[in-house]
């Protein structure tokens, strides 16, 4: 059955750095093109943690060295990351489709996502961005007013506020592009966070979680399936332990229970399961799939990955 799918790409689909990203997307788009060739309507979303951190740090360093260079607000850094990642993705996907004889327009939509100014996330930054630092480097940066946290045993990273998405401002444009049989890359990096002030949208200093933004988009465009791509084929209980238990299917009740029992790592699998659950619970028949990019097609066919549905 042909489905309307929101496909959320994780960091490993994009690689690190400019040259690596251009190379990584060439593999990534093959899996996306497989889904399009199978007749599915595909909306591509993606993260931006390393890229938005790089942009932010580069402008900060340049502004310190040269008073003519501005410090960029985080909302503008997210906008730049959407453009830069989307540019690589749309060109690679366009080329891959043309090589398969599929002549479909592919475009990146600069997308804004409304957040609540009273979201408690603004008072408690948790979203890691940019490169990793040693403990000593992190302590020096913290003395200079930055907030850093240890990230999953891999080193220290800067953290920023990550409020929950409330509305996708350009949702009608996404829908129109889908109905015109176009492929759209949207809510990149979780979308540009904005505060709605009457007719004015004011950029907020935050980076929205791309899995939560993708779930909100999937709900708003009435997608059949949300696919969250990550580094593992399935969600697991006791991950990394001898008694690891891989999960094929999760009911919302089980997903809630496993979240309460703290089976999923914060800042890693937890937001993916929570976002997938939110989409699956939003309407009967909606399915969320968590798997690796190379298994997406098998996952849609129910052969692998973890499916969350009512």
CB-wise, 125 or 309, nearer to ligand CP? 125
Least Å from the CB of residue 26 to ligand CP: 19
- Is 91 one of the annotated active-site residues of the chain? no
Number of residues that bind ligand CP (CB under 6 A): 9
Q: Give the count of alpha carbons within 13 A of 222, CB side only.
A: 5
Is 127 tagged catalytic? yes
Q: Is 210 in the site for ligand CP (CB under 6 A)?
A: yes
Nearer to ligand CP, 63 or 195 (CB): 195
Phi, psi of 256 (to 5 degrees): -60, -45
Query: Which of positions 165-194 make contact with ligand CP (CB under 6 A)?
Result: 189-190
30 catalytic per annotation? no
Query: Residue 49, interface with ligand CP (CB under 6 A)?
Result: yes
Q: What is the DSSP letter of 189?
A: G
Residue 250, beta-bridge partner list: 308
Instruction: State how far the Cα of 42 lies from the Cα of 35, in Å rounded to an integer.
Output: 7
Active site residue 3: no
Q: Which of the residues 216, 272, 299, 305 is marked catalytic? A: 272
Q: How far is the CB of 265 from ligand CP (least distance, A)?
A: 14
Which residues are within 8 A (CB) of 242 and not within 5 positions of it... i.e. 6 or more apart?
A: none
Cα–Cα–Cα angle for 265, 269, 274, rounded to 5 degrees? 105
Is 12 assigned a catalytic role?
yes
Give the nearest residue (CB) to ligand CP: 47
The least distance separating ligand CP from the CB of residue 254, rounded to whole angstroms, comes to 25
Rounded alpha-carbon distances, angstroms, from residue 294 to 31, 108, 137, 298, 305: 6, 23, 36, 9, 11
From 149, 211, 163, 214, select the one nearest 185 (Cα to Cα).
214
Kindly state the tokens that stand for 24: 């990584």
User: Please, which of residues 10-29 interact with ligand CP by CB under 6 A?
Assistant: 11
Catalytic residues: 11-12, 127, 210, 272
Site of interaction with ligand CP (CB under 6 A): 11, 47-49, 189-190, 207, 209-210
């Amino acid at each position: 059955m042909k489905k309307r799918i929101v496909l959320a790409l994780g960091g490993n689909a994009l690689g690190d750095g400019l040259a690596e990203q251009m190379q990584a997307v060439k593999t990534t788009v093959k899996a996306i093109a497989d889904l399009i060739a199978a007749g599915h309507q595909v909306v591509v979303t993606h993260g931006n943690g390393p890229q938005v951190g790089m942009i932010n740090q580069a402008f900060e360093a340049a502004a310190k060295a040269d008073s003519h260079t501005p410090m960029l607000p985080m909302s503008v850094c997210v906008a730049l990351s959407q453009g830069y990642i989307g540019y690589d993705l749309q060109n690679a996907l366009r080329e891959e489709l043309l090589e398969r004889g599929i002549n479909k327009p592919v475009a990146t939509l600069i997308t804004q996502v409304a957040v609540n100014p009273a979201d408690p996330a603004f008072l408690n930054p948790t979203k890691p961005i940019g490169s990793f630092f040693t403990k000593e480097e992190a302590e020096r940066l913290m003395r200079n007013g930055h907030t850093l946290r240890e990230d999953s045993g891999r080193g220290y990273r800067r953290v920023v506020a990550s409020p929950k998405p409330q509305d996708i401002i350009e949702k009608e444009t996404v829908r129109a592009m889908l109905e015109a049989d176009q492929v759209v890359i949207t809510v990149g990096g979780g979308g540009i966070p904005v505060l709605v002030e009457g007719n004015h949208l004011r950029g907020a200093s935050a980076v929205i979680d791309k899995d939560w933004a993708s779930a909100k988009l999937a709900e708003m465009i009435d997608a059949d399936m949300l696919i969250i791509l990550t580094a593992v084929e399935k969600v697991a209980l006791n991950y990394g332990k001898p008694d690891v238990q891989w999960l094929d299917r999760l009911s919302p009740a089980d997903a809630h229970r496993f979240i309460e029992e703290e089976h999923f790592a914060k800042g890693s699998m937890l937001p993916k399961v929570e976002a997938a659950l939110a989409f699956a619970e939003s309407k009967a028949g909606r399915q969320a799939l968590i798997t690796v990019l190379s298994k997406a097609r098998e996952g849609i066919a129910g052969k692998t990955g973890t499916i969350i549905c009512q």
